[in-house]
Every structure is written in C-alpha cells, then in structure tokens.
Structure 1
C-alpha cells in the first residue's frame, strides 16, 4: 500500500471523541455529537469543527452514525506469538520454555513468518490498532517479513529483531556479532521507511537471555543511529532472580540496563511490576517509559503493576496488549484490564483516563505524542470509525461501552494519515 497522503483536503463527518493533547482543566476528552474532521495535504488534520451546512465545500465522507476517534496504539506486542494466544502453560519462564520458544523457532522458515505476518497485521487492523510497537523473533528474515507486512497494510509501526545470545534454545540463540550486524542491516533498510511510518527498535528480549557485551553493543547501535529501545523489566519474581544471578555486577534489574547504556529517554520497559523505589526513581531520572500490560499480567499471574508508582514520578506510561500472553489484540480489552488491575490495588481509574492511556498517553510514551494520539489540528490523521448501538449516546455512555462492553462497538473503518487502510481499498 502506498503511504502517500491525500492530495486535496477532504472531510469526514460523524460523532467525534478524542483525547486532548494538553487539557487545560476538566475532562481530558472532547466530544462532538456531529463533527467534521478536515484532512489536508500530507495527511494532516486541518480542522475539527461542529458540523454545519456549508462549513466545508470539498468532498465529505459521511460516516454517521459511527464515532470518529484516534486509532489505538499498542505499545507492546509479539508478532511471533500471534498463533499461541491462550496458551496457558505456566508462569512466565515456564510459559516461555513450553509455548513461546518452540513457536518462535518456526520463524526460521521465512514462508511461515510471511504467513503469520499477514495474520498479525490483519488482527491489528480488525481491532482498530493503527500503530504498534512489536517484537519480532531472533530471525532477521522473519523481521524483514514483519516490516514488509506492516508496510503493505499501511500501518504505523515500530519493530525490532529480538536479541538473545544466551540462556535460550539453540534455534533462537544468535551470537552477538551476527545479531548486531543483522540489526544494523535491518535498521538501514527499514528505519524511516514507508515515508516515515516505520521505525526500527533495538530489542533485547530481556536481561537473562542477553550477555552484557550484547546489550552494550545494542545500546551503542541505538545511540549511533537514534533508535528507540524496547525490552522487558521486572515482570516476574523468578525473572528478577535470574537476572541478578546472570548479572551479579548490577545492584538491581534496572541497573543492568542502566550500566550497559540501554536506559535512555527512548527506552520502553514492558511490565515494571516488581520494581523497587530506587528503580522507579532511576527510570524517572532517565526519562524512560513503562508499558503497562495488565491482561498479560493477569494471564501469567505475574502480579499487579502499580500505576501510582509511575504517576507520582511523572514516568510516561503506555498500554500494551502483550499478545500472546495478552489474550486479545483489541486494546479495549487492555483498557478494561487496566481498570481491573487498578481496582485490585484499591484504586479506580476514570474511564476517560483509560481511553487517554490507549491513545494520547501511549503516543506520548513512545515519542509520537506530537504526531498522533488525538484528533486535533496539526496532527496526522490516524483515526478509526466505530459503530455503536443506537441507544448509546453521549460522551459518558460511549466511553463506558467502548471500554467495558467492546463487543457492542464495531470498528468499521481505519485510516492512517487520512488514507483508508481497513477495510482494505481496491489495489
């Protein structure tokens, strides 16, 4: 699919619900019962205005009664785990050994990787996700197929070759020099591709499967080329213990990444459940972001991430499905799980905050907050059209059904930079 943008302004009509990138006070969202979303050259939003006859003289696509809202952003998802959703084989380390690693070994077959990549992007599109931050396998060919699939689908994506050079099956273990060379080649090919919709991320799986030298080389590559970093941290107590056994030179889990140079203002740390106050303080100081994966945390019994620990330190928090430990590609499931997670900790998140977390909040955390995440003038027009039952009216009702009763709301259309990507237009 071409990633070019509409040549002339056009408008989309519908109800409209969006976070506000910088809310002054009151509600963090804006709702218009009948709106025009005007998209101009470059796929940029020119206007968001209440509809009135004659307000726009160009082409208007009437999507009523659908609600226009920003496309969802999934900040942590595993492409090679697409086919093992729901594989309940134990806690994190057991689950990796029994379910994940055998499946990821299949991605040495590039034909298989290409097939699953098409399924993966199809699942994202059907769920209203327009941007993903994805782990590939440790196979460079599979990672190339993932980027090709993202480009073909017209999705915005950040993805990377999963780095592992120890404590993993031989079929997945790639020595440092070979892995770094492959990552460099993939970054040169794909970072900034599709007119900037695609980025390459340095992706150490997690500290137990990465040697210090591999992580140091990966950090240097990220620094040299201005690449984002994604990895896991403190998801499971046994994982934390394994990390410190493997890297006894570090004072704690976060210190491993800090000392090798991976803890930067472009780092995305998934989970962050079992972190000490010192670790939270250091994450805040480094201006790294944490990705909250509540559905996965419930499924593997990993624990409860305390949002308050992040918020009290102004640590940016993104939301991730973490498929395949997460049980759905639909970020509405992740929003609902985030509500449950907070409730288990004696907190109650306003439903508007959950919506913001999956859109503008995640965009901010992954470094795209000025580009996407809300429907406001100057941003790129990544949005979806969601159809609700007729009885669902008003901001509060829409938000409640979106987050807590997603089966009543259907994603009908998806757009990136104002271009339709779902349903797929004719070639």
Structure 2
C-alpha cells in the first residue's frame, strides 16, 4: 500500500536527532533526550519540542528508547544488482562483465523483475531508507515493475530506465529511438506518481555504453520534463580511458556529458574519484552534484574520492550505497565507509558530518532539501525510529553508535507521516 498522510494530527515520543542549519564550524545537529514529534493531517511535521505532559491533545505513540531520525536517503543504487551483492569479481569493468551484466539480462523476465523488486523495497525499508535514487535495468517492463513496487511500499523513489546502446551485451542493448520512446512512456506513466513521491530520472549508464545521439536525445527529454539526470563519472581509470576511446571529440570525461547537454544543475554524478581540477571546476559551475559511494569504491578497488575537492568548490555531495558493488543497503555502513575514506586521505569527518551527509546533505544534493532531510516544522514527515542498545545515552554516544556500530535496529519507518515499515 502506498503512503498516505494521516487524516488527523499524530504525535510520537522518543529521543530525537536531526540536522539543523550548519554553523560556521561545520555540520550541526539537534539532540533531544525526550522529544515530542507532531505530524499534521497533511503529512508534514507540525512541531518538534521537548516532551511535556499534556502538550498534545490526543494519543501519543511512545517509541522510547528508540531515537527518531530523518529517514535515510540513498542517492545511488542499482535495483537489478540486489542479488549480486558481494560478488567479488572486480575491478569495475571486469565485475560488470562477469557479475552484473548476466544478472541484469534476467530482468527481461517480468516475473523475475517483480520478485526482485519486492525484495529490493523490503530491504531498503528494513535499513531505514525512505528515499532512494535508483538505476533500473535497460528493460522498460522491469522498470515499470520497479515503480509498482516503490508505489506499493510507500517509498519516496526516483528511478530511471538504464540507457545503453553500445559496448554492452546484446541482451542489454536498446537502440536509441526505442530507448527514448520507452523512457518517454515511463515519464508519462510514473513521473509525479504516488501523489508526487515518485519521479523518473534520465539514466545513461555511463559514457562508454552510450552513443552521442542517445545522450543528446536523453538530455532533450530531461529538459522537456525538468527531470533529474543520474549517471556515473570517473569511477575507474580504465573506465575513463574507455570513455575517451568511445568519444574522442571530448577533452575529458566530464566534457562528454557537458557537450551533449547532460551536465546541468539537475545532474547526479556518482563516484567522481578520478577527476581533474578542470572537471571539478566545471561540475561546480554547472551546479551538478557528486554522489559519494565509498563502500563500493573500497570493494572494487576503484580509489578514494577527495571530499575536500568538492567542498573547496561548494559542490553538493550526497551519499549512495551503490548496491550491488556496495555491500549493504544500510546507509550507516555508507557513513562509516565515508569516514574510512576520508581517514585514508588524511582528512577527518566527525560523526555529525557523516549523519548530516546521509540526511540533509543528500536531500540537498538530489534537489529535495526543502521537503525532507531533517525533522523540523513544515517539512514532510519522513522519519524512522531506530533502537540503540540501552547503554547508549546522550548526543555524542548516539552519534558515534549510529555511524560506527552495527547493532542498531530499525523499528519503524514513516513517509509523509504514514507508516511504511514494518
């Protein structure tokens, strides 16, 4: 069943942790040891206050000792890779050929796609992810099944048909005209569906597998409907070399997307490990976002993204699991891997930095920052109740355990104030 706003105000009691407006010193959070979160009948947060008896006229669902948090946002993952998590056949191009492409070919079977779609949405919700930005397969019917599953689960989802018309297995290749027609049909059926919870994203897999005409047509479709664009960039050196062999008219990887019209303020570029200063500057100028996928980067040995390069240019950075190269749907693992990635580069990220990155920072990166990402009055009530061990008390301990430990349990999840998990 899709998420629907509650018909009357509801209130929830628990500990609470949320990002707040950043201070000059960096990420900032608000922690309440005993909070009252009130959700209005419109599915928006009406108030967040310290708990006081009698402050709310009506029943209060007491979720203590759970901590109320914004729902996690996974800005980059692959639906057809759900069942190949942990397939260690990297590096990237070898892993795609051996593990990913054979599995993705199975999604031409609509029944198989529907089965995995149910597993996919269930694992997201069990991990506390309430918003996802997803690559489907190149099969339109499988993508339709994915949208049906997102709607049924009540998730907030942005997803797209994966475009690839060259340098890929024939079972996955879809010619330009056919792919764009299928994408246009999916836009008409699903973009804005679920009362606005669902969006269609233009999804070129990556430059080596997309012809210039396909990317140019995709960019026109994105402009015509004001759609997000999601793709990969500079994940692996061999991938970068393949990009320039396929598109010798471009000066570098980012220039490919720039010249075809895909590099815009609505573009989400996953990985961004091997970017030149010129490419970073152009991404900043275009207003595109980088999606950091550290767990995947470690698993495939792709390298380490320098968050400092993005921060120096005020480039928005979101966090992605990148399932299935990422080894878990749990964004807490993504936060921990981002800490390790920075630590290996001699940088430091605090637990608050990482928590904000996985919530408000990722919401900002995908263009949803005014609607979700924190628990504050006026925002849509996407939140989770997370059970931590009883000895974990106070703001610092809660943040540390949230980011670095693995024994927390998602008890409940809500989208627009409506329960979606369990």
Cα pair 2:128 2:410 within 8 Å, conserved: yes
How far 1:60 sits from its partner (Å)?
A: 1.1
How far 1:27 sits from its partner (Å)?
A: 5.9
Name the CA distance, whole Å, in 1 between partners of 2:169 and 2:89.
17
1:318 corresponds to 2:321: no
Aligned to 2:108: 108
1:414 corresponds to 2:413: yes
Partner SS, residue 180 of structure 2: helix
Query: Where does 1:30-179 land on structure 2 (aligned, <5 Å)?
Result: 30-179=30-179
Pick closer, same or farther for the CA change 1:27–1:92 going to 2, 3 Å.
closer
Name the CA distance, whole Å, in 1 between partners of 2:413 and 2:22.
24
Query: Where does 1:338-349 land on structure 2 (aligned, <5 Å)?
Result: 338-349=338-349
Structure 1 residue runs of 5 or longer lacking an equivalent are none
* Aligned pairs, number: 422
Aligned to 1:376: 376
Cα pair 2:3 2:419 within 8 Å, conserved: no
Name the CA distance, whole Å, in 2 between partners of 1:23 and 1:376.
17
Cα pair 1:21 1:360 within 8 Å, conserved: no
Name the CA distance, whole Å, in 1 between partners of 2:139 and 2:23.
43
CA RMSD in angstroms comes to 0.9
Cα pair 2:187 2:200 within 8 Å, conserved: yes
Cα pair 2:3 2:420 within 8 Å, conserved: no
Cα pair 1:44 1:380 within 8 Å, conserved: yes
TM-score normalised by L of structure 1: 0.98
Partner SS, residue 274 of structure 1: coil
Runs of 4+ in 1 over 3 A off after TM superposition: 21-27
- Which string of whole-angstrom CA distances, capped at 9 and with x for unpartnered residues, describes residues 168-213 of structure 1? 0000000000000000000110000000000000000000000000
Cα pair 1:333 1:403 within 8 Å, conserved: yes
Name the CA distance, whole Å, in 1 between partners of 2:53 and 2:96.
58
- Which string of whole-angstrom CA distances, capped at 9 and with x for unpartnered residues, describes residues 63-97 of structure 1? 11110000000000000000000000120000000
Pick closer, same or farther for the CA change 1:261–1:26 going to 2, 3 Å.
closer
TM-score normalised by L of structure 2: 0.99
Structure 2 residue runs of 5 or longer lacking an equivalent are none
Cα pair 1:6 1:418 within 8 Å, conserved: yes
- Which string of whole-angstrom CA distances, capped at 9 and with x for unpartnered residues, describes residues 346-393 of structure 1? 011011000000000000000000000000000000000011111100
